[in-house]
């Protein structure tokens, strides 16, 4: 193995790995405001701390921060002293869908994803499996067009997993959240009591708001659960479990 060679030998210490919480940056980026002054200000503050800790390489384990525009902003703030590596694979449905398929052979799976890089990764992974289809695009806008033709051909949608959706914290962005009154209204026209929705998140505020909307819908048969269903976890879930973050879970049906 090649010996560790820091760029600046004066700063050199023993090779070590440090962890920094960067939740606020993830939240701002997921709001779509990574090019704002506020994001840059907080990123500079966060990165200064990392520079002071004499780090050489920064591993960002989040798909949103790895988006082209955001990644470019972060690398620019880091300058040449810190090399950024974006581990965007951390957050795909790859392992989740694969594990389900292995546990429930013969079932059909639809994986919906909006980010181009992740779609390519999922498509590649499942290219030879006819029972796993990866659908490219905004799930919120397209899902009825996708589900209806399947139902017309006799498919019964048994389970819908909404795993760690983007939280959209700002009130003016709540309409972008996946589970909304509008979504549940359209869902009520398409799904009967045979369909169960699984909703999981590490964001309490999102969970509470979603619960309220679900309670006021026809999908008000709600059960809270504590651990991953069938022991199958998602990438994001595993990352949050490693951080000891709480995870909020419910399933609901008509």
Ligand X SMILES: C[S@@+](CC[C@H](N)C(=O)[O-])C[C@H]1O[C@@H](n2cnc3c(N)ncnc32)[C@H](O)[C@@H]1O
Q: How far is CA 127 from each of CA 113, 147, 211, rounded to the nearest angstrom? A: 15, 21, 36
Between CA 150 and CA 95 the distance in angstroms is 24
Binding test (CB under 6 A) with ligand X, winner from 24, 42, 50, 114: 114
State the nearest-atom distance from the C-beta of 140 to ligand X, in Å.
5
Q: Is 234 in the site for ligand X (CB under 6 A)?
A: yes
Q: Is 15 helix (H, G, I), strand (E, B) or coil?
A: coil
Residue 170 CA, chain-centre distance (Å), reads 18
Mask for 129-168, x = binds ligand X (CB under 6 A): ---------xxx----------------------xxxx--
Q: Is 160 helix (H, G, I), strand (E, B) or coil?
A: strand
Residue 190 CA, chain-centre distance (Å), reads 25
How is residue 185 written in tokens? 């209204």
From 166, 202, 209, 235, the catalytic residue: 166
Binding test (CB under 6 A) with ligand X, winner from 55, 118, 147, 247: 118
Q: Which stretch binds ligand X (CB under 6 A): 65-73, 149-157, 211-219, 228-236?
A: 228-236
At residue 134's C-alpha, the angle toward residues 206 and 141, to 5°, is 50
Length, in residues, of the chain: 254
State the nearest-atom distance from the C-beta of 43 to ligand X, in Å.
19
State the nearest-atom distance from the C-beta of 55 to ligand X, in Å.
25
Q: Is 67 in the site for ligand X (CB under 6 A)?
A: no
Between CA 236 and CA 169 the distance in angstroms is 18
Is residue 166 annotated as a catalytic residue, yes or no?
yes
Q: Is 109 in the site for ligand X (CB under 6 A)?
A: no
Q: Is 63 in the site for ligand X (CB under 6 A)?
A: yes
Residues 176-195 that bind ligand X (CB under 6 A): none
Residues 7-46 that bind ligand X (CB under 6 A): none
Q: Is 197 in the site for ligand X (CB under 6 A)?
A: no
Between CA 125 and CA 85 the distance in angstroms is 22
Q: Which is nearer to ligand X, 55 or 200 (CB)?
A: 200
Nearest to 30 by CA among 91, 119, 96, 94: 91
Instruction: Name the burial class of residue 5, with classes exposed (0-12), middle (13-18) and buried (19+) by CB atoms within 10 angstroms of its CB.
Output: exposed
Mask for 78-97, x = binds ligand X (CB under 6 A): -------------x-x----
Residues that contact ligand X, how many (by CB under 6 A): 19
Between CA 207 and CA 184 the distance in angstroms is 15
Footprint of ligand X (CB under 6 A): 63, 91, 93, 112-115, 118, 138-140, 163-166, 234-237
Please list the active-site residues.
166
């Amino acid at each position: 193995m090649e010996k560790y060679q820091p760029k600046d030998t004066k700063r050199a210490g023993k090779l070590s790995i440090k962890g920094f919480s960067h939740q606020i940056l993830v939240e701002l980026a997921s709001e779509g405001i990574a090019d704002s002054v506020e994001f840059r200000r907080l990123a500079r503050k966060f990165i200064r701390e990392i520079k002071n800790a004499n780090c050489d390489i920064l591993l960002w384990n989040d798909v949103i921060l790895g988006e082209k525009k955001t990644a470019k902003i972060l690398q620019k703030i880091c300058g040449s002293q810190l090399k950024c590596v974006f581990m965007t694979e951390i957050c795909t449905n790859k392992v989740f869908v694969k594990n389900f398929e292995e546990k429930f052979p013969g079932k059909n799976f639809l994986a919906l994803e909006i980010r181009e890089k992740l779609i390519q990764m999922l498509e590649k992974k499942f290219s030879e499996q006819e029972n796993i289809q990866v659908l490219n695009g905004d799930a919120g806008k397209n899902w009825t067009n996708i589900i209806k033709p399947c139902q017309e051909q006799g498919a019964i949608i048994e389970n819908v997993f909404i795993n760690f959706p983007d939280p959209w914290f700002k009130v003016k962005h709540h309409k972008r959240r996946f589970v909304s009154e509008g979504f549940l209204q359209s869902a009520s026209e398409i799904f009967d009591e045979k369909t169960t929705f699984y909703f999981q998140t590490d964001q309490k505020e999102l969970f509470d708001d979603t619960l309220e909307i679900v309670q006021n819908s026809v999908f008000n048969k709600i059960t809270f659960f504590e651990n991953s269903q069938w022991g199958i976890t998602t990438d994001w879930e595993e990352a949050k479990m490693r951080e000891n973050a709480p995870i909020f879970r419910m399933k609901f049906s008509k």
